[in-house]
């Protein structure tokens, strides 16, 4: 009986009224093929996938679509890292792509990326770049990404075709795509190997702006350059004696780097050493700088915040929202002598998610008083808090006097309805180039107005985090130095250039002497 029952159960499952997924797929050869190709892709079984493809083509019963070709091309491109499969993957990948083209099918960014990787593995950077340019020129919803351009750029750099690599970079910049460490390192290596010293300096600067800490592979590229003869031959172009010009350039670039080119003459001495917890070099005793965002980046960010706030206001229809963000801008111009901005809501609501929890004014007062006492000139910080929250606090007799005092002394600004508090405290902190006290991780879309590298660098230098442990406040101030590439000049010489590894505070120190 049990056997008969099992038999009937399987027959019922496979009956037309209750078909299982396997029988459904078998009735549709296109879906069945895609299912099996995806299984091969997950298990990275290129041979099985190619066998399925060949069988489908030979049968002439399966209508191959974009998804079939895309899955096959992805698997081919993913197999090029295996020396045993690389030749097969490239040859068959090209054949599959040719058939896709002749079939008149459109291809998306993922398809172009796969083909570009195949071309790069074949050493054909020209084709890898050409297919990306053609794809970009067509436009559409699917657009090239960093991974789409990277195969051509890395191929050119590997073959030391530096000028072609620069051309890819220019195309990427025009498309608004930022380089990451692997691509910058490749361009740096190609520039150093072809003795393009100005390009070497440029990519060192890009590493500083975009990466900060570099990995071991990148540090080896940098070490090889400074140990080489060409690096010792590079000398000042005339600005090395203009100390004031260099100092002004350092300030404009946020500290730690002037960006004006090579300074000094002679060979470089390469040393490895560590830095102390306070940022003091244990080899040369040089103090590392706190590197901030440059003036151009910061102003662009400030302008973007204003534009966003104005755009938000234009969409409001409530009569209560007649106030303009420019009113806060004008107010800040008159009262803008602050060393710190305080995100009042973030602090007042910290750890208040318990029964009877609410807004803790005592926590906010503790932060404000601590910042006042830490200020060298005894300056009060600026608290930004929503008008509704301020109104509620004023209605409480226990809190009224303190809040009134803050308002009268310019310590508290009430942000209007319809506007996000975040816009105000972030604008104020960026505009005044001062500290911002908040535990907000700032992941909202408004914090993505500029590149992630900019905002991470800005937060590192300006954000102050806090904790309350059993009522005791602890402020976590920005670190005493920045872990990024830095140049330090002991005028006129030597010149110290620090390159940090990603693994910690170990650094390369390159000392140039005449």
Query: CA 215 to CA 388: how far, in whole Å?
Result: 49
Query: CA 514 to CA 177: how far, in whole Å?
Result: 40
Query: CA 99 to CA 420: how far, in whole Å?
Result: 53
Query: CA 298 to CA 2: how far, in whole Å?
Result: 76
Residue 492: what pLDDT? Answer: 47
* C-beta neighbour count of 88 within 10 angstroms: 16
Choose among 386, 383, 388: nearest CA to 365: 383
Residue 514: what pLDDT? Answer: 46
Q: What are phi and psi of 340, to 5 degrees?
A: -155, 145
CB-based burial label for 364 (10 Å; 0-12, 13-18, 19+): buried
Residue 490: what pLDDT? Answer: 47
Residue 2: what pLDDT? Answer: 47
Specify the DSSP element, H or E, that contains 191. helix 181-193
Q: Tell me the three-class secondary structure of 215-256, residue by residue.
A: CHHHHHHHHHHHHCHHHHHCCCCCCCCCHHHHHHHHHHCCCC
- pLDDT tens readout for residues 466-511: 999 988 999 999 988 888 888 776 444 455 666 555 444 455 565 6
Sign of the torsion angle spanned by Cα atoms 109, 115, 121, 126: negative
Candidates 3.40.50.2300, 1.25.40.10, 1.10.260.40, 3.40.50.150; CATH matching 29-229: 1.25.40.10
List the chain domain ranges. Answer: 29-229, 243-293+483-512, 295-476
Residue 451: what pLDDT? Answer: 60
Regions of the chain short of the pLDDT cut 50: 1-3, 5-17, 19, 21-22, 24-25, 319-321, 490-493, 502-505, 513-514
Q: Give pTM, 2 decimals.
A: 0.77
Q: Tell me the three-class secondary structure of 385-427, residue by residue.
A: EEHHHHHHHHCCHHHHHHHHHHHHCCCEEEECCCCCHHHHHHH
- pLDDT tens readout for residues 306-342: 887 777 666 655 544 456 788 899 999 998 889 999 9
Query: CA 307 to CA 508: how far, in whole Å?
Result: 42
Candidates 1.20.1250.20, 3.40.50.2300, 3.40.50.11540, 3.40.50.11980; CATH matching 295-476: 3.40.50.11980
């Amino acid at each position: 009986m049990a056997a008969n029952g099992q038999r009937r159960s399987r027959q019922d499952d496979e009956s037309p009224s209750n078909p299982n997924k396997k029988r459904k797929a078998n009735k549709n050869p296109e879906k069945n093929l895609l299912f099996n190709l995806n299984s091969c892709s997950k298990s990275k079984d290129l041979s099985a996938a190619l066998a399925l493809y060949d069988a489908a083509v030979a049968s002439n019963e399966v209508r191959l679509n974009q998804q079939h070709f895309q899955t096959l091309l992805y698997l081919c491109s993913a197999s090029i890292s295996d020396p045993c499969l690389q030749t097969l993957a490239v040859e068959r990948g090209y054949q599959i792509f040719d058939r896709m083209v002749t079939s008149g099918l459109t291809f998306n960014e993922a398809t172009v990326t796969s083909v570009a990787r195949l071309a790069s593995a074949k050493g054909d950077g020209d084709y890898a770049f050409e297919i990306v340019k053609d794809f970009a020129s067509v436009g559409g919803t699917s657009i090239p990404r960093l991974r789409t351009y990277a195969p051509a750029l890395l191929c050119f750099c590997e073959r030391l075709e530096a000028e072609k690599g620069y051309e890819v970079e220019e195309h990427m910049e025009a498309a608004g795509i930022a380089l990451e460490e692997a691509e910058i390192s490749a361009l740096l290596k190609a520039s150093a190997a072809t003795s393009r010293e100005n390009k070497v300096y440029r990519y060192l600067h890009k590493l500083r702006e975009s990466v900060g800490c570099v990995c071991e592979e990148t540090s080896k590229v940098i070490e090889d350059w400074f140990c080489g003869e060409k690096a010792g031959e590079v000398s000042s172009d005339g600005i090395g004696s203009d100390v004031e010009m260099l100092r002004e350039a350092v300030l404009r670039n946020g500290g730690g780097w002037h960006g004006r080119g090579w300074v000094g003459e002679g060979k470089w001495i390469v040393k490895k050493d560590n830095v102390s917890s306070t940022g003091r070099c244990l080899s040369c005793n040089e103090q590392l700088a706190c590197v901030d965002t440059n003036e151009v980046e910061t102003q662009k960010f400030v302008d973007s915040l204003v534009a966003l706030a104005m755009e938000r206001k234009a969409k409001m229809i409530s009569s209560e929202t007649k106030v303009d963000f420019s009113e806060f801008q004008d107010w800040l111009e008159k009262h803008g002598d602050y060393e710190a901005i305080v995100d009042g809501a973030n602090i007042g609501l910290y750890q208040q998610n318990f029964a009877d929890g609410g807004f803790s004014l005592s926590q906010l007062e503790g932060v404000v008083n601590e910042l006042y006492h830490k200020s060298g000139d005894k300056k009060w910080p600026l608290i930004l808090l929503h008008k509704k929250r301020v109104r509620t606090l004023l209605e409480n007799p226990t809190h009224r006097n303190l809040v009134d005092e803050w308002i009268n002394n310019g310590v508290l600004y009430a942000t209007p309805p319809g506007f996000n508090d975040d816009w105000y405290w972030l604008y104020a902190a960026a505009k005044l180039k001062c500290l911002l006290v908040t535990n907000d991780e700032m992941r909202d879309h408004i914090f993505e107005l500029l590149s992630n590298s900019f905002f991470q660098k800005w937060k590192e230098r300006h954000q102050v985090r806090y904790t309350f442990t059993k009522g005791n406040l602890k402020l976590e101030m920005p670190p005493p130095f920045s872990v990024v590439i830095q140049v330090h000049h002991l005028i006129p010489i030597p010149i110290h250039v620090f390159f940090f590894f990603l693994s910690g505070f170990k650094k390369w120190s390159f000392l140039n002497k005449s």
